[in-house]
Amino acid sequence: MSTTAKILVTGGAGFIGSHTVVELISKGYEVIIADDFSNSHQEVIDSIQQITGVRPHVCSYDLRDHDAVSAIFRQHRPDAVIHFAAKKLVGESVEKPLHYYRSNLLSLLNVVESALETDCRRIVFSSSCTVYGQPEVLPVSEKSPLKKAESPYGNTKKIAEDILEDTAHVTALKAVSLRYFNPVGAHESALIGEYPLGAPSNLMPVMTQTAIGKRKSFSIFGTDYNTNDGTCIRDYIHVTDLALAHVAAIDRLFSTEGQGSYEVFNIGTGKGISVKEMVDAFEKVNNLKMKYDITARRPGDVEQVWADTQKANSVLGWKANRSLEEMVASAWKWEQHLAQKSTHSKTL
């Protein structure tokens, strides 16, 4: 493997994408970002440069446009792709299923077709633990049965995996799908983090926005689940650990080992943390007290899920190392940075 290889990162200005770009650059890869900035911010590129000292080239195109995607591949000739770009709001996908199928699957098809046309044979796909639904056995391994998706968003991940697996079997494509669990936290510099354009639906930004005063309170959806404290259990993983898993997957695709044409890995910590435990940790570590409401269960929420990470640990040589305390501390530091930035811009 040559660390001078060129990696195209679709959705590279987003939460997970931006952290992955930082780690790729730090490893010596050349990075091209393709992002339409429909759910991300242009200033993230400045922050990536501030962290790494390198400004990645940015292609601002809609990946549903086949000609635009083809032009990116012909111009830049990437050696590999990490495909993050997708619509990702579960509730919105239920309301607008056709929009999600068109956006998430058409963009993938355009990327894969353009990659093969330009002899780019390596792709890492951003998949999700949603493909497991509510598993019957915990923790879930890559061999666990896949359940019918709870939402069109989840179904696009399952269909996308099928597209990649079927294509890899009959072409020169080598693909890796990373099924990750619940990314939280922010870069240690506090220069990049989770930065939703609209109202967030994930627990961590809802908590940090409540703590900073953007929201009066937040909701815990259900305390009557069959768990230790009645709240849902998830496998929360620090976004930097998740980013490093993508670097490990890229490294593997460039290696000469005898891996198959298509591989799947769970990316989590292997530990289940309840919603209440996450809230308590956030308050304790950051010395805060927040207002929250106990409300009814939210439709579509899985009761509990966490990962069996043995395959990623042994085959990828990757392991999540950052603690729950680091997750909540870095997320709060990032929210404070955003507040300072906002205050500064208003005084100019």
Q: Looking at mean pLDDT, say which of 8-12, 196-200, 298-302 comes out highest.
A: 8-12
Going by their DSSP bridges, the two strands 174-180 and 122-128 should be labelled as: parallel
The distance of Cα 271 from the centroid of its chain, to the nearest Å, equals 18
d(CA 344, CA 348): 7
Task: Map out the domains of the chain with their CATH numbers.
Answer: 6-347 (3.40.50.720)
pLDDT at residue 341 above 90? Answer: no
Please state, as a whole number, how many other Cβ atoms lie within 10 Å of the Cβ of residue 337: 17
pLDDT at 311 over 50: yes
- Mean of pLDDT values over 228-240: 97
- 22 near 48, Cβ under 8 Å? yes
Euclidean distance between CA atoms 64 and 112, whole angstroms: 12
Task: Give the residue numbers marked as catalytic.
Answer: 153
Q: Sign of torsion, CA 130 312 108 243? A: positive
Please name the residues in contact with 312: beta carbons below 8 A apart, sequence gap of 6 or more: 245, 248, 265, 266, 267, 318, 319
Q: 241 pLDDT band (50/70/90 cuts)?
A: very high
Report which of 114, 118, 29 is spatially closest to residue 77, judged by C-alpha positions: 118
What is the rounded distance in angstroms from the CA atom of residue 221 to the CA atom of residue 299?
A: 9
pTM (two decimals): 0.95
Write out pLDDT tens, residues 72-129: 999 999 999 999 999 988 878 889 999 999 999 999 999 999 999 999 999 999 999 9
